[in-house]
Amino acid sequence: MTAPKTFAVKSFGCQMNVYDGERMAELMAADGLVPAADPAHADLVVLNTCHIRERATEKVYSDIGRLRKDAAKRGAVAPMIAVAGCVAQAEGAEIVRRAKVDVVVGPQAYHNLPALVAKAAAGEAGLDTDMPVDSKFGHLPARRRVGPTAFLTVQEGCDKFCTYCVVPYTRGAEVSRSFAAIVDEAKALVDAGAREITLLGQNVNAWEDEDGRGLDHLIRTLDRIPGLARIRYTTSHPNDMRQGLIDAHRDVESLMPFLHLPVQSGSDRVLKAMNRSHTTDSYLRVIDRVRAARSDIALSGDFIVGFPGETEAEFADTLRLVGAVGYAQAFSFKYSPRPGTPAADMADQIAPDVMDDRLQRLQAALNRDQAAFNAAAVGRTCDVLIERKGKLPGQMLGKSPWLQSVHLIGNHAIGDLVTVELVEAGPNSLTGRMPGRIAA
């Protein structure tokens, strides 16, 4: 196989995978490859995979098959394929054996991607799913150009071992990146055009520096970077929500009033079986403290319906919790048994039609609350960070502090912060108007 000249990265799954995908693209660019004008015709395709729910693995195999078939149809040579991300970590050599891909690289080893690609070009399949003590971050090239909103991974891995979840196995133990490395990268991102940075981690609020200072210390430091207008962070665990971080929501102006705090279930029996190590009550008390610090905060959550043994009454407890919190937005999923996790072997797996029904009812409640949250924002004046052009002429799209999509008509550049009045709400977005204007 000849050495690839062009590449494309396709990322699935969470925002941390999006971040990793960007870093892999930067690595390959630094190695002399160029992004393919048409990703479907790239010489090297990196599939940056997710393992969190069912069929992820099968999807990777079918993607690989399709890439090869499409190339054959065009009479072109099949692209070199690199499988990265959490399926790569979970399946490892099995992918090389089954799909004969050229490279398999895990989420903690992708700094070795250029070397693995070179090895593959020389005819030898490359596999690296190590989780080295010496982290990949020190081996990645500097950030160059980014959009107005950028991701920055500050923490990786998970020690919580919820019984349904693969993340502790695919991403390894909880590790915090060093304070200095994060601040340097944040400055580089701002120099490269970012106005908003979202700090990422599987348990981002478990981040701490060498002296045990928490995420609030990092946020207060980043707040002082000139040109950085907004800071966000995700995903947090209820048990790691320290008071310092809650206080930062009260006093740090650039910290946006938004908190994604997954709870998964409103039943204490189910939470225990999930090994969540919090109760509905302790979760609600965290929410109360957060709201006391920042009354307008938008709350978001993750939910799983149909965990093994979940009864109708336990599911009703989840609906009750949703009603008590009033989420601005949320993600909800049907439980998916993951190979190697304790819950996959539990008795009383829930029938698919019961899960479907519960998911529908939960989503109806969450949609109702999201619409209510959006409707309640009408009449507020707020800043919108312009992220891109809209479909209509003169239309621009951006985000409110509460992470709502806002469209407006105006002559703005991407990256501008524009003060608008929110004048109309839909279920998924709002309309903003420059104060003083008659029509949007």
Catalog residues that contact ligand F3S under the rule CB under 6 A. Answer: 13-14, 16-17, 50-52, 85-86, 166-167, 170-171
Choose which of 80, 83, 116, 158 interacts with ligand SF4 (CB under 6 A): 158
Closest CB 302 distance from ligand SF4, rounded Å: 8
Query: Residues 88-127: x/- map of binding to ligand SAH (CB under 6 A)?
Result: ----------------------------------------
Say which entry of ligand SAH, ligand SF4, ligand F3S, none residue 308 contacts (CB below 5 to 8 A, set by partner kind): none
Pull the structure tokens for residue 299. 């709350």
Pull the structure tokens for residue 373. 């949250």
Choose which of 151, 179, 233, 335 interacts with ligand SAH (CB under 6 A): 335
When the beta carbons of 50 and 194 are compared against ligand SAH, the nearer one is 50
Helix (H) or strand (E) run with residue 260 in it: strand 258-260
Choose which of 167, 228, 248, 298 interacts with ligand SAH (CB under 6 A): 167
Return the SS3 of 343. Answer: helix
Backbone dihedral region for residue 374 (phi beyond 0: left; psi -120 to 50: alpha; all else: beta): alpha
> What is the C-alpha to C-alpha distance for residues 116 and 331, in angstroms, rounded to an integer?
36
Kindly state whether residue 44 participates in binding ligand SAH, applying the rule CB under 6 A: no
- Nearest-Å Rg of the Cα atoms of the chain is 23
Instruction: Kindly report whether the peptide bond that precedes residue 235 is cis, defined as omega within 30 degrees of 0.
Output: yes
Closest CB 303 distance from ligand SF4, rounded Å: 12
**Phi, psi (deg, nearest 5) at residue 176:** -100, 135
55: exposed, middle or buried (Cβ count in 10 Å: 0-12, 13-18, 19+): exposed
> What is the C-alpha to C-alpha distance for residues 385 and 370, in angstroms, rounded to an integer?
21
When the beta carbons of 310 and 383 are compared against ligand SAH, the nearer one is 310
Residue type, 81: I
Pull the structure tokens for residue 92. 């490892």
Closest CB 271 distance from ligand SF4, rounded Å: 11
Closest CB 237 distance from ligand SF4, rounded Å: 5
Query: Residues 233-252: x/- map of binding to ligand SAH (CB under 6 A)?
Result: --x-x---------------
Choose which of 237, 278, 358, 399 interacts with ligand SF4 (CB under 6 A): 237
Say which entry of ligand SF4, ligand F3S, ligand SAH, none residue 51 contacts (CB below 5 to 8 A, set by partner kind): ligand F3S
Strand-pair partners of 106: none
| HEC per residue, 196-209 | EEEEECCCHHHCEC
Pull the structure tokens for residue 93. 């050599």
* Terminal CA-CA length for the chain: 56
When the beta carbons of 86 and 255 are compared against ligand SAH, the nearer one is 86
In our burial notation (b when 16+ CB lie closer than 10 A, e otherwise), range 105-134 reads: bbbbbbbbbbebbebbbeeebbbbbebeee
Q: Please count the other Cβ atoms lying within 10 Å of the Cβ belonging to residue 265.
A: 25
> What is the C-alpha to C-alpha distance for residues 432 and 378, in angstroms, rounded to an integer?
9
> What is the C-alpha to C-alpha distance for residues 344 and 357, in angstroms, rounded to an integer?
21
For residue 283, give every residue at least 6 positions away whose Cβ sits within 8 Å of its Cβ, in sequence order, or none. Answer: 238, 261, 263, 321
Query: Residues 171-210: x/- map of binding to ligand SAH (CB under 6 A)?
Result: -------------------------------xx-------
Closest CB 158 distance from ligand SF4, rounded Å: 3
Kindly state whether residue 16 participates in binding ligand SF4, applying the rule CB under 6 A: no
Say which entry of ligand F3S, ligand SAH, ligand SF4, none residue 161 contacts (CB below 5 to 8 A, set by partner kind): ligand SF4
Closest CB 166 distance from ligand F3S, rounded Å: 6
Return the SS3 of 157. Answer: coil
Closest CB 166 distance from ligand SF4, rounded Å: 8
Kindly state whether residue 168 participates in binding ligand SF4, applying the rule CB under 6 A: yes
Closest CB 161 distance from ligand SF4, rounded Å: 6
Choose which of 126, 262, 410, 432 interacts with ligand SAH (CB under 6 A): 262
Q: Which residues of the shown chain bind ligand SAH in the complex (CB under 6 A)?
A: 52-53, 158, 164-165, 167, 202-203, 235, 237, 262, 264, 302, 304, 333, 335-336, 338
Q: Which residues of the shown chain bind ligand SF4 in the complex (CB under 6 A)?
A: 158, 160-162, 165, 167-168, 202-203, 237
